[in-house]
Amino acid sequence: MNKVGYAVELNDVYVRINRSEVIRGITIKVPLNTIYVIMGPSGSGKTTILRLISRLIDLIPDVEVTGSISVLGMDALRSDPYVLRRYVGMVFQTPNPFPHMSIYDNVAIAARINGVANNRDELDRIVRWALERAMLWDEVKGRLNDYPHTLSGGQRQRLCLARALAMKPKILLLDEPTASIDPVNARKIEEVIKSLRDEITVIMVTHSPHQAARVGDYIALIYSGTIVEEGRVKDIFLNPKSEFTVKFLRGEV
Amino acid sequence: MHRIRVIKDRLFTFYVVITSALALIPSLHLISVIILRGVEVLSEAGIKFLVDLPPTPLSTQVGGIAPSLLGTFMLTAIALPTTTLIAIFAAVMNNEFPNNPISRILDVTLRSFASIPTIVVSMTVYLLVVIPMGGYSAIASSIALAIIALPYAYTIISAALGQVPHTYREAAYALGMSRWMMIYKVIIPIARRMLAGGILITMARIMGETAALIFTAGRFRTGLTLSPNQPVDAIPLLIFDYALTPYPVMHKVAWGAALILLLIYLITFLSLKVLVKEVKL
C-alpha cells in the first residue's frame, strides 16, 4: 500500500441511484488518524458516502458512481471490494451483532476472517482487547458464551464496535452509531471513538452538531448531496461561512 | 363509543375462534380416527407389524408392513437430500443473485413443477427413466418424488433465506466476508429454524406422496431389498392399494400403516423442534 497523507479522498464524486442524483460532485479529503465527522440533515447523503468508502454501495441495485475515490492509496472503485473492506471496519446505525453467534464468536469471527489471529490464544487476546476497547469487557467477561439478544441495545452496539475493532481496521466508519441507544451508552461510545484518535482514521456520520463538536477533529456539513462547508471543528463552529451552517448549528434545519 | 369498540373486539375474537376451530376440526378428526383405528391394529399385530411381510387376502394374521416401511425410508433417504440440496442452491441463487440468468431459469422451472399433476410426473418418469432402466426402481421413484417436492422445498427455503434481515448481510460484507462465506456463515445459520421447517415439510411431501409412485416404484411387497435399482414399495402406496381391496385384513393393515406414517412425522417434527433452536434476533 502507498504511504499517503490522506486516508480517504473523494474527488468530484457523483452517485445516481435509480437515475436520481443523491451525491452531487462531492470532494472530501480525510487526513490519516483523525476523527472526521460528516454531518447533515436526514436524506442529505451522509450514509451514502460511508457506503461508497466501504463499497457497500455495490449492494444497491441500479447505482452509478462517477469521480474517483482513494482509500489508503487504493482506487476504491476499481479495487476488489473484499480486499478493500478488510482495511475498513463499519458500525451501522442499528446494532446488528450476528444473532446466531455468541458474544465471543461475534468478535472472534472478525479477527479470524481477516487473519488477525492465527491460534486460539491470539484469538482470546484479540477478543478481550476489542471488548476492552469498546468498554464492554467488564460487563460481559463472565458470559462470553451468551447470545447478543441477552444484551441491551447500547451493549449490542458496543459489541458491534468491538467486532469492527477486532478486524484491526485502518479506517473505521460509524453510521450514526449512537442514534438508536440511550445517552449513557452513547457517551461510552463517544469515549471509545475519542480514544481511537491518532491510532486509526474514524469517519463518523451524525446529525447532531453537539456530538460532532464533542468528538470530531474535522467536519463536513452536507446537504442535498453537496458539501456546504468543510474544515476543522473549531473553525466551523466559531466562524461558519455559510448561512446554512449557522442554521444547522442552531438546530433550525 | 368505548362500548362499541368492546363489542367489535369481542365479535372479532369470536369470529377468529370459530374459524380456527372449523379449520382444525377436520384435521383433528382425521388424526383421531387414524390413532383409534391404528392403535387397534398395532396392539393386535404387535412389534411384528414393523418387521413382517403384508398378509395375503385370506390371511387370518395382520402381518406387517416391513417392505413398505423400508421402501419409504429408502426413498426418503435418496429423495430428501437431493431435493433439499437443489432447493437450497436455487433459493440461494434466487435471493443472493436475483439478476443471474441461472437464478431466473431455476425459479421459473421449479415453480412450474408445482403445476404439473403428480400422476403426469409419474408417467413422465416412467417413460424417461423406468423404460430405459428396464424396470421399476427406487431411483426412478426418488426422481419422481424429488420433482414433486422441489417446488415446496424451494418456495419455503427461499422465503426462509429472504426473511433474514438485510442488515446482517451488510455486517458480514463489512467484515470482509465473501458472498458465499456470508451465505454459509451468516444467512443459513440465522434461517436454520425455518430451513428445518422447510425440510420437514419436504420430507412429509416425499413420505406421503402416492401418485408419483404408481408408475415408478413397482410395489415390491414380497421381500426386503436395499438396492436402489430394484422395485420398492412405500407406505402411502400400500395404504392406497389396500384401501381399495374388499378384504378386511388389508383394511386393517392400511390403518396401521397410516398410524406408523403419522408417528414418523410426529417423531421427526418433535426431534427437529428440540434439536434446532430458534435464533433470537
For B59, the 3-state DSSP assignment is coil
Please indicate, yes or no, whether residues B190 and B236 belong to a single structural domain of this protein: yes
Confidence bin at B278 (pLDDT 50/70/90): confident
Chain A residues in contact with B176 (beta carbon < 8 A): 82, 85-86, 113-114, 167
Provide, as residue numbers in chain B, all residues whose Cβ is less than 8 Å from the Cβ of A85.
173-176
Same domain, A3 and A73: yes
pLDDT tens, residue by residue, A140-171? 999 999 999 999 999 999 999 999 999 999 99
d(CA B239, CA B257): 7
Whether residue B241 lies inside any domain: the answer is: yes
Shared domain for A180 and A246, answered yes or no, is yes
Instruction: Answer yes or no: do B231 and B115 share one domain.
Output: yes
pLDDT in tens, B235-250: 999 999 999 999 999 9
Residues with Cβ < 8 Å from A221, sequence gap 6 or more? A39, A40, A227, A228, A229, A230, A236, A242, A244, A245, A248
B214 falls within a domain: yes
Shortest alpha-carbon distance between residue A204 and chain B (Å): 15
* Residue ending a domain, choose from A126, A144, A168: A168
Report if residue B125 sits inside a domain: yes
Q: Tell me, yes or no, whether A188 and A244 share the same domain.
A: yes
Of the candidates A200, A198, A5, A196, which has an alpha carbon nearest to the alpha carbon of residue A88? A200
DSSP letter for each residue of A161-203: HHHHHHT--SEEEEESTTTTS-HHHHHHHHHHHHHTTTTSEEE
Contact of A130 with chain B, judged by CB distance below 8 Å, is answered with no
Domain assignment of residue A197, given as a range: 1-87+170-253
* Position A3 pLDDT exceeds 80: no
Pick A99's closest partner by Cβ from B170, B175, B190: B190
Domain count for chain B: 2
pLDDT digits (tens, 9 = 90+) for B60-83: 899 999 999 999 999 999 999 999
Domain identity same for B70 and B40:
no
Task: Name the domain boundary from A108, A141, A168.
Answer: A168
pLDDT at B44: 94
Alpha helix segments (H runs only) across A64-117 = 81-84, 103-113
Do B141 and B34 fall within a single domain?
no
In this complex, the residue of A85, A88, A96 whose CB is nearest that of residue B167 is: A96
Looking at the fold, whether B159 and B251 belong to one and the same domain comes out as yes
pLDDT of residue A246: 94
Q: Does residue B208 belong to any structural domain of this protein?
A: yes
Q: Verify that B76 and B42 share a domain, yes or no.
A: no
Task: Supply the pLDDT for residue A209.
Answer: 92
Residue B45: closest CA among B264, B258, B247, B256 = B256
pLDDT level of residue B280 (50, 70, 90 thresholds): confident
Question: Do A164 and A180 share a structural domain?
Answer: no
Whether A100 contacts chain B with CB within 8 A: yes
Q: What is the pLDDT of residue A74?
A: 94
Task: Mark yes or no for CB contact B170/A92 under 8 Å.
Answer: yes
Which of A168, A189, A213 marks a domain boundary? A168
User: Best of A98, A107, A161 to disrupt the B interface by mutation (most B CBs within 10 Å)?
Assistant: A98
Residues A31 and A151 in one domain: no
Q: Are residues A18 and A78 in the same domain?
A: yes
Beta bridge partners of A11: A68
C-alpha cell read off for B233: 414399495
| Residue A1 pLDDT exceeds 50 | no
Distance to chain B for A57, nearest Cα, Å? 10
Q: What is the pLDDT of residue B1?
A: 73
Instruction: Please determine, for residue B232, whether its predicted confidence score (pLDDT) is greater than 70.
Output: yes
A201 close to A7: Cβ distance less than 8 angstroms: yes
Please tell me whether residues B29 and B84 are part of one structural domain.
no
C-alpha distance from B176 to closest chain A C-alpha (Å): 5
pLDDT tens digits along A52-105: 999 999 999 899 999 999 999 999 999 999 999 999 999 999 999 999 999 999
Q: Is B57 on the interface with A (CB under 8 A)?
A: no
Test the A interface: residue of B175, B182, B186, B190 with most A CBs within 10 Å:
B175
Enclosing domain of residue B256: 66-275
Residues B76 and B202 in one domain: yes
Record: contact A149-B177, CB cut-off 8 A: no
The pTM of the full predicted model, rounded to 2 decimals, is: 0.85
Does some domain include residue B262?
yes
* Region A173-193 average pLDDT: 92
The predicted model gives B32-51 an average pLDDT of 96
Asked if the structure places residue B56 within a domain, the reply is no
Q: What is the pLDDT of residues A23-51, one digit of tens each?
A: 999 999 999 999 999 999 999 999 999 99
CATH number (domain holding residue B242): 1.10.3720.10
A196 and A82 in a common domain: yes
CB nearest A85 (choices: B165, B169, B176): B176
Q: Which residue has the higher pLDDT, B276 or B167?
A: B167
Asked whether the predicted pLDDT for residue A2 surpasses 80, the reply is no
A83 with A5, same domain: the answer is: yes
Read off the C-alpha cell for B95.
435471493
d(CA A104, CA B205): 40
List CB contacts (< 8 A) between A109 and chain B: 175, 185
Does residue B61 lie in a domain region?
Answer: no
Examine the domain organization and report whether A195 and A143 are in the same domain.
Answer: no
Region B146-164: what's the mean pLDDT? Answer: 95
Question: For chain A, how far is it from start to end, CA to CA, in angstroms?
Answer: 41
pLDDT of residue B279: 84
Do residues A39 and A118 share a domain? no
Q: Are the beta carbons of B176 and A94 separated by less than 8 Å? A: no
Q: What tens digit of pLDDT does each residue of B96-140 get?
A: 888 899 999 999 999 999 999 999 999 999 999 999 999 999 999
Smallest CA–CA distance, residue B175 to chain A, in Å, is 6
For residues B36 and B136, state if they share a domain.
Answer: no
Confidence of residue A180 (pLDDT cuts 50, 70, 90): confident
Length of chain B: 281
Of all helices (H) and strands (E), which one includes residue A65? strand A63-71
Q: Are residues A57 and A178 in the same domain?
A: yes
Asked if residue B255 and residue B194 are part of one domain, the reply reads yes
Report yes or no: A149 at the B interface, CB cutoff 8 Å: yes
Residue B174 and residue B223 in one domain: yes
Residues B184 and B146 in one domain: yes
Query: Is the Cβ of B95 closer than 8 Å to some Cβ of chain A?
Result: no
Q: Residue A108: closest CA among chain B residues belongs to which residue? A: B175
Number of independent structural domains in chain A: 2
Q: Does B186 touch chain A (CB under 8 A)?
A: yes
Q: Nearest CA to B31 among B259, B269, B254, B256?
A: B259
Contact between B176 and A113 using a beta-carbon 8 Å cutoff? yes
Which amino acid belongs to residue A59?
Answer: L
From the list A85, A88, A98, which residue is nearest B186 (CB)? Answer: A98
Same domain, yes or no, for A64 and A180?
Answer: yes
* Chain A partners within 8 Å of B190 (Cβ): 98-100
